């Protein structure tokens, strides 16, 4: 311990002894009264430095570029399959429109489960 710390500790101990304060609360208040309050301004010690910020931006940009490149490559791989699917959809739409024009429906309407059959109602 330095001499200054020893002196301050001794002064605080004598102050605590004089005021019968064993918890040290009064001594801490006395110690705080010896020093003027520091001007308050928020200091963010964990704030990133400008170089760190630029590095983070570069890294994020590079990650975004690699993501875009990977999506483009996936899209080029899926493009033939997608075009075939689109052609199949167009063909199905053409067939459906032709059926609608003829008023024919490819799916017959199912009989309702609640409607009883006529043969059950009218027994002969």
Q: What is the pLDDT of residues 59-80, one digit of tens each?
A: 999 999 999 999 999 888 888 8
d(CA 47, CA 50): 9
Mean pLDDT of the 40-59 span: 77
Mean pLDDT across the chain, nearest whole number? Answer: 75
**Assigned domain for 43 exists:** no
d(CA 93, CA 99): 10
Q: How many domains does the chain have?
A: 2
What pLDDT was estimated at residue 79? Answer: 87
Fill in the DSSP letter of residue 46: T
Q: Are 15 and 26 in contact (CB under 8 A)?
A: yes
**Dihedrals phi, psi of 36, to nearest 5 degrees:** -70, 150
81: containing domain:
72-102
What pLDDT was estimated at residue 5? Answer: 75
| C-alpha dist (Å) from residue 122 to 112, 113, 116 | 18, 18, 11
**Assigned domain for 83 exists:** yes
**Assigned domain for 98 exists:** yes
**Assigned domain for 87 exists:** yes
């Amino acid at each position: 311990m330095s001499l200054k710390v020893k002196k301050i500790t001794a002064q605080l101990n004598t102050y605590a002894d004089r005021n019968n304060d064993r918890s040290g609360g009064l001594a801490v208040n006395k110690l705080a009264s010896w020093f003027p309050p520091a001007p308050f301004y928020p200091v963010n010690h964990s704030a990133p430095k400008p170089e760190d910020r630029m590095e983070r931006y570069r890294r994020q940009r590079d990650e975004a570029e690699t993501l875009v490149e990977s999506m483009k490559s996936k899209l080029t791989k899926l493009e033939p399959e997608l075009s075939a699917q689109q052609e199949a959809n167009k063909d199905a739409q053409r067939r459906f429109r032709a059926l609608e024009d003829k008023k024919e429906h490819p799916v017959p309407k199912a009989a309702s489960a609640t409607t009883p059959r006529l043969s059950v109602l009218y027994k002969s």
